[in-house]
Structure formats: C-alpha cells, structure tokens
Amino acid sequence: MLFSACDSVLDVTPKQSIDSREALESPEAIQAAINSVYAYLRQTSQYGRDLVAIPELLADNTEHTNNPTALYGQYRNQPGAHMGIWGSSYAAINEINNILHVLEEPPVGVSEEFEETIAGQAYFLRALYYHNLSRIYGYDPKSRIDEVDYGSVPLLVEPVLGTDQVTYPSRADIEQIYELIYDDLEMAFNLLEGKTVDGSDPEYYGSAAAAASLFSRVALYNEDFERVITEADKALELSGGRFMGHDNYIAGWRQMKLPESIFEVVFHLGDHSNPVNESLRVTFTSRQTLSSTSFSNRGNVVVGDELYELYPADDVRRGLFMNGLGRNANRTEITKFLSRSAINHDNVPVIRVSEVYLNRAEAYARSGMDEQARQDVNRIRERAGLNPVPETLSGQGLIDEILLQRRLELAFEGHRFFDLKRLGMDIIKPIGDVRFDEYRILAPIPYSEVERNGNLQQNFGY
C-alpha cells in the first residue's frame, strides 16, 4: 500500500513517476515525485472512473442496463459494492509526506520559489486525497449516526520509507481529519498565491484557485458557511472569468479541457489502465465519438428517467443528453465524457467554477443571506436558459432550488451521492431505498487492512 514504483522517470508532464523510496536529491527528482502523486488520480478506482461514476450509481441519477453487469452491484447498493480508494490514496499520501519531509531541508539546487510551488501542490493534493477518503469511509462532520460512528480514516503525516517504519494507527476523529485538511488548504493557498505552475495548462496542477475552490467544498461539508463564502470569493476572483456562457456551454463540453475547470485530471494516450472496458466514455455511452452511428462496447450506466425529466424543455443542459445506439437506442446517455481528449481518454474536471457558485449559493441561503443566494443560483439558471427565481423565494424553498440546480448542473460528475450523504438524506430509488442510517452508506475498509492492523475498526455491518 505504501509504495509505488515505476521503471523509469518519464519526461512528459504531468506523467512523471518515481519510486517514493528514492532519495529526492534534485529538483528533477522532486518534480517527478509530485507528478507521481498526480498520476494516482488517473487510476480507475479514482478519477479514471469510480469517483465519477459510482457516486451517481449509488444515488438516484442513473439506471443500469445490466448488459454487461459491471458496476451493477453499486447501482443496486448491494452490501460491499461501493468505492474503493484506500490503497491508492494512502500510497499517494505517503509520497506526499516524503516530498514535504525532503522540502524541510531542501537539497542543493532547489530554489525558494520551486520549493514553495512543490510544497503548495503537495498540501493541496493531500487535502484532496484525505477529503475523498473521509467522505467515502466515514461520516461527514454534521451528519452521522453517533452509535456506529467509528471515526474517519487513519491520519498519516510522517513519511514511511521501509517496513520497519510502518505504524498501525486507529481511525482519527472526523474533526482531526478536517483540521488537517483546513491546515493543508491554507498552506497550499498561501504558498501558491501569485504563482503559476504551468502557464499553458494551469488546470492540470494544484493552484491557489484550486485550493480555495476545494476549501469551499470542504467547508460546505463541514457546514462552516462563513468559510465557504470566504473561500468561494477568493476562488471566483481568481477564476470566475472562466464561467461558461449559454451560447458556448455545450461546445465547452466538447473541448479537451473544460473551459471552466479550475482543477482537472488530465489523460494522455496510454494513461488509462483499461480504456476498453473501464473509461468513463465506455461506462456512460454506447458511442465511440459524438458522430458514431454504430454501437460501441458498453454504455451500461445511463441517465435515469427521473433525472432527465427534471430538466425543463428549454434547458441548454439537455443538449448533453443523447439517445444511445444499438441496444441502447431507447436509453438516454450523458455525453460529458465522449472522447474529448482522445477515444476513451477524457480529462475529468474535479473542481469547476459552477460548483463554486453553487457552494456559495448554498452557504448564503443557509446563513439567511437570501438575496446573495438568489444571485448565485440565478447565474446557473440563466446560463441554462431559465428564468431567474422569484424575488420572494427564500428559506427552505430557496435551499431546495439550489440543491436542485446542483443536481442538474453537476450530474454525472460524481457529486450526487456525497451531497445526499453530507445532508443526512435517504436515497430514494425505484429499485429500493437506502436509508441514511444503514451501513450501506459507508464503504467497507479493505479486509486486508483490518486484518493487518488490529487498531483499525471496520465500519459497522461489514
């Protein structure tokens, strides 16, 4: 779990990889090490598929064709069928910890600006990995079942270079995890503010805007609404100009890089471990490209009727839906991931401007700042071609509208299950509901980890 190896250091950003056991004695080795951390995000269990597709399957946005049966257990919320990012996440975290340890006393040749830029990215990435771990394997800060809340995930911040250094920690409290995430994102923003990691592809790397944007998400889960607003303000000041307009919304989703991405996972040819069977294009659509006329591969995760019917007839976002081909001819498919970069290699937006507006809108509404909340949600509605909400809409009705627009805008981007979970809501599905107090809400900790670590308590029900 703790080590990742690669045969060579590849000189193609951001693809470089280096064994975390290697001494990081030069800027080139440190750069390769941080890019190895980015590389974990491309794994199928991470943003290569599962962190995008499975939250939709576990919730109420999808239907499953059962042809083939891949991910069918997640659609039916079967016991143990969940997300599984434990091993890859802790391997990445260990590499981050090694990088940060080396930067405490930088080797010769490492400039102060380089040190700060690398450290800022490392803190941003560690916060991202820990937040994803915490929301999969544990409850969220404000929605939990106390009698079966066994904590979040183990908190590891020291580097491990050999088996003799392995420790066996118990699960940290969710408050401890969020304290680390807050600290990491504050460090990331401060170190990266005013710096550009890559002028041509800044979306592929941690940045001050990415740190503030992720902070607005994390603070929303923590119901720290004042902090949501503060961080969203910073993020939008740095990146709000990327917000896609009505006329170029669909075209934006056809580009290699989504124009309003603040941070996205990039895929080059050969990056995906099994693109034939496990890419998002294969999972969500029966087409190979937008203009395909014959059925291609799977397309077994399609748009649920309930979700589709929530979009008004004149909503521009309907343009992202198409009927499938072949056996999917009567199914509605999403085309957000349809060979934009190359066939089966779509970049994945992790954080984009629209989410930040919706984070802030919800924070405003839950703080009683209805006018500001209406302005933010109307930005999303009017871009979609819809009328603004009435000026009289306030309170819970306004919150409900924001959550609806969040569902419609971020559909098939991996948010729906987590939004229901952070709010303590049941999942209502035609095939059977899942109550929030059921064990199926949490993912099982890998059996091998529980067997090796006697201090690690399994989630209830498993």
Indicate the pLDDT class of residue 272, thresholds 50, 70 and 90.
low
Per-residue pLDDT band for 349 (boundaries 50, 70, 90) equals very high
Mean pLDDT taken over the chain: 92
Structural domains of the chain, ranges and CATH numbers in brackets = 27-60+69-269+348-452 (1.25.40.390)
Residue 21 has a pLDDT of 42
pLDDT band at 270 (very low <50, low <70, confident <90, very high): low
Answer yes or no: is pLDDT of 452 > 70.
yes
The token duo for 130 is 């820990």
- Judged against a pLDDT cut of 90, whether residue 161 lies above it is answered with no
Q: Is 250 exposed, middle or buried (0-12, 13-18, 19+ CB in 10 A)?
A: middle
Long-range contacts of 211-215 (CB under 8 A, 24+ apart): 211/120, 211/123, 211/124, 211/127, 211/185, 212/185, 212/238, 213/239, 213/262, 213/263, 213/351, 213/355, 213/356, 214/124, 214/127, 214/128, 214/131, 214/185, 214/263, 214/351, 215/182, 215/185, 215/186, 215/189
Burial of 449 (0-12, 13-18, 19+ CB in 10 A): middle
- How far is it, in rounded angstroms, from Cα 86 to Cα 40? 12
> What's the pLDDT at 58?
98
Neighbouring-strand partners of residue 323: 332
The predicted structure's pLDDT at residue 273:
53
Which token pair is 127? 């916060």
Tokens of 397: 């009705």
Mean pLDDT of 137-152: 97
Whether the predicted pLDDT of 174 surpasses 50: yes
CB 301 within 8 A of CB 49: no
Q: How sure is the predictor about 198, in pLDDT bands with cuts at 50, 70 and 90?
A: confident
- CA 5-10-12 angle, to 5 degrees, is 135
Long-range contacts (CB closer than 8 Å, 24 or more residues apart) made by 308-313: 308/332, 310/404, 310/407, 310/408, 311/408, 312/386
Q: How far is CA 166 from the centre of its chain?
A: 28
* pLDDT given for residue 274 in this prediction: 55
pLDDT band with cut points at 50, 70 and 90 for residue 169: very high
Tell me the mean pLDDT in the region 184-203: 93
Cα separations in angstroms, 221 against 171, 182, 361: 19, 12, 14
Q: What is the pLDDT of residues 410-441, one digit of tens each?
A: 999 999 999 999 999 999 999 999 999 999 99
